[in-house]
């Protein structure tokens, strides 16, 4: 039940956060159906023709009718049907960044179910010019300034004091990922790379702006936008 409630919260968050980065197509289904109607195929034909090189995410759901496991399987089939159709229409596989079924969305009512959640969402990444990205400005050679070197950052507690051998070794280990990011001796430093092979069981790694669907390894769409 907790997983289902969290899924509802994330669905609401996605509907508010994805619009800045994605255009969205919705495909709706009859009860228990995973196949595509003629209308749905026409929609996907148009998408395949005009999507260009933009990336896509495919997420499918089922309504509250039936138990959780069959609905998860149904939602996965819905997502896969959409993906396979787009691939058959020559959309490159690497443009489909995610294709997953998220199962049953909780609800209550009669035997007619809830058509809002018998659906597939196709998120199409907007072009950068459409999401407020400022194009780089060109600077003439005579006006360009020579960049100044960045100030050297001391890792020691007392700036200006020469680092001893142990501190220099910690700095080198940090840059190549040999030192654990949770080591209290380097907690004041900046971790530029993390070697995941060095992480131990139950060790925590904080990934800023990456959100997942409850109980799953699937990123919500806005996290793909933050990752780029």
Q: What is the pLDDT of residues 128-157, one digit of tens each?
A: 755 455 545 555 555 555 556 555 554 445
> Domain check: are 189 and 91 in the same one?
no
Whether 43 is covered by a domain: the verdict is yes
Do both 96 and 177 map to the same domain? no
Q: For residue 206, is it within any domain?
A: no
Same domain flag for 179 and 93: no
Helical H runs in 51-182?
Answer: 68-88, 165-176
Per-residue pLDDT at 111 exceeds 80? yes
| pLDDT reported for residue 21 | 83
Count of domains forming the chain = 2
Banded model confidence at residue 127, pLDDT cuts 50, 70, 90 = confident
Q: For 1-15, 64-78, 179-193, which range has the lowest pLDDT when averaged over its residues?
A: 179-193
Percent of the chain with pLDDT over 90: 43
Whether 160 is covered by a domain: the verdict is no
Residue 122 lies in a domain: yes
**For residue 137, is it within any domain?**
no
52 in any annotated domain: yes
- Residue 107 and residue 218 in one domain: yes
Q: Give the residue-averaged pLDDT of 165-174.
A: 55
pLDDT at 71 over 80: yes
Same domain, yes or no: 14 and 126: yes
Do 16 and 51 fall within a single domain? Answer: yes
Out of 6-20, 28-42, 68-82, pick the least confident.
6-20
Could you give the maximum distance between any two Cα atoms of the chain, in Å? Answer: 75
Clarify whether residues 28 and 103 are in a common domain.
Answer: yes
Domain of 219, CATH number, reads 3.30.1330.60
Whether the predicted pLDDT of 37 surpasses 80: yes
Query: Does the pLDDT at position 174 exceed 70?
Result: no
pLDDT at 176: 47
Classify residue 121: in a domain, yes or no: yes
> Is the pLDDT reported for residue 26 higher than 90?
yes
pLDDT at 93: 97
| Domain around 179 | 165-194
Same domain, 109 and 176: no
179 within a domain of the structure (yes/no): yes
């Amino acid at each position: 039940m907790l997983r289902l409630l969290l899924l509802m919260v994330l669905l609401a968050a996605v509907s508010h956060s994805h619009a800045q980065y994605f255009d969205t197509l919705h495909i709706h289904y009859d009860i228990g159906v995973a196949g595509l109607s003629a209308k749905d195929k026409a929609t996907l034909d148009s998408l395949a023709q005009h999507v260009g090189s933009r990336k896509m995410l495919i997420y499918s759901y089922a309504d509250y009718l039936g138990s959780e496991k069959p609905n998860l399987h149904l939602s996965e089939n819905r997502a896969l049907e959409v993906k396979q159709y787009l691939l058959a229409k020559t959309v490159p596989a690497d443009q489909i960044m995610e294709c997953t079924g998220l199962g049953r969305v909780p609800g209550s009512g009669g035997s007619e179910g809830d058509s809002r959640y018998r659906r597939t969402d196709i998120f199409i990444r907007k072009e950068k010019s459409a999401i407020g990205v400022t194009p780089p400005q060109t600077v003439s050679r005579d006006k360009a300034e020579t960049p100044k070197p960045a100030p050297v950052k001391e890792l020691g507690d007392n700036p200006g004091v020469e680092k001893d051998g142990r501190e220099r070794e910690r700095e080198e280990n940090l840059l190549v990922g040999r030192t654990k990011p949770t080591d209290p001796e380097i907690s004041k430093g900046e971790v530029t790379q993390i070697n995941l092979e060095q992480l131990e069981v139950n060790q925590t790694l904080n990934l800023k702006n990456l959100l997942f669907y409850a109980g799953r390894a699937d990123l919500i769409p806005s996290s793909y936008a933050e990752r780029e």
